Amino acid sequence: MAILPKFPESTAFGVLNNFLSEYHDKNGYALPSRYEVMVYPPPKHPNPSTARNVSIRVEALDMPGRALNTSPDSNRYGIQPEIVDGITFAGTIGLTIQTSSDLEERVFFESWQELAWNRSTWNVGYYKDYVGTMEIYILDINNNRRYGVKIFNCFPKEVGPISLSYTQATDIIKTPITMEYNYWETLDITNQPPSLLDKVLDTVITGAERNINANIPKVLSRL
C-alpha cells in the first residue's frame, strides 16, 4: 500500500471551480484588445494637434518591460546568490499606425524626427528639444482604466517602410514606428515614488534619530 506524502496545506489552491469564479466577477481577464494610447510630442513639434489622431489610430503596440541586472555575491561562501546591481529598461516600443489618405500620421512622426536633425546642415539637435512622452492604459470591459504606464523621453527612432501592392486593395496602409525611450513609471497614484519633500523629511528625521542615538550613554544603550 502506497504511503501518501504529507504537505502543510492538504487542500489544492487552484481548484477549477474557484479558478472559474475568480474570473467571472467584475475583474475578469485583461484583454490585449482593450487599451488606450496617448502620444505627447515635444513642444517644438510643428503639428502637435495631430497627436490625438495618431493616438486613436494605434492598431498595435508593445507594452514596455524592464529587468533587474544581477551578479553573483562573491562575499558569501557556498552557493552565491544573485544580487541586484542595476535596472534595465527595454529601450524601444513598436507601434503600428493606421494611416489616413493623406498619410498625416506618418508625416507627424517624420516631422518629429526632424526636430533631432537639421535637413539643411545635417547637424543634430538638442536631446531636450526632440523627446516627448507617451501614456499606455489597459482598459476593462467597461472602458475603465485599470493599469497605466508613462513613458519618458521618447522619440521616433525609426519610421518603417510601407509595403505597397495591387493584391491588397481592401487593406489600409499601416505605418510601423519604433519609439526609443529612456524609462517608464506606473501611473497608479497609490504606487508613486516619494516626492522631494518626503525625501527631505525622511533625511531630517533619520539625521535627528542618528544624533539622538549618538548622545545616549553607552550604559543606557545596553538596556
Query: What DSSP state is assigned to residue 110?
Result: H
Residue given cell 489544492 in the structure block: 12
Give 122 or 191, the one with higher predicted confidence.
122
Each residue of 81-130: pLDDT tens digit? 899 999 999 889 999 999 999 999 999 999 999 999 988 899 999 999 99
- Burial (Cβ within 10 Å: 0-12, 13-18, ≥19) of residue 179: buried
Predicted TM-score (pTM) of this structure:
0.75
Going from the N-terminus, what domains does the chain have, and what CATH number goes with each?
18-189 (2.30.110), 193-223 (no CATH)
CA distance between the termini of the chain: 59
Contacts of 157 (CB under 8 A, 6+ apart): 92, 178, 179, 180
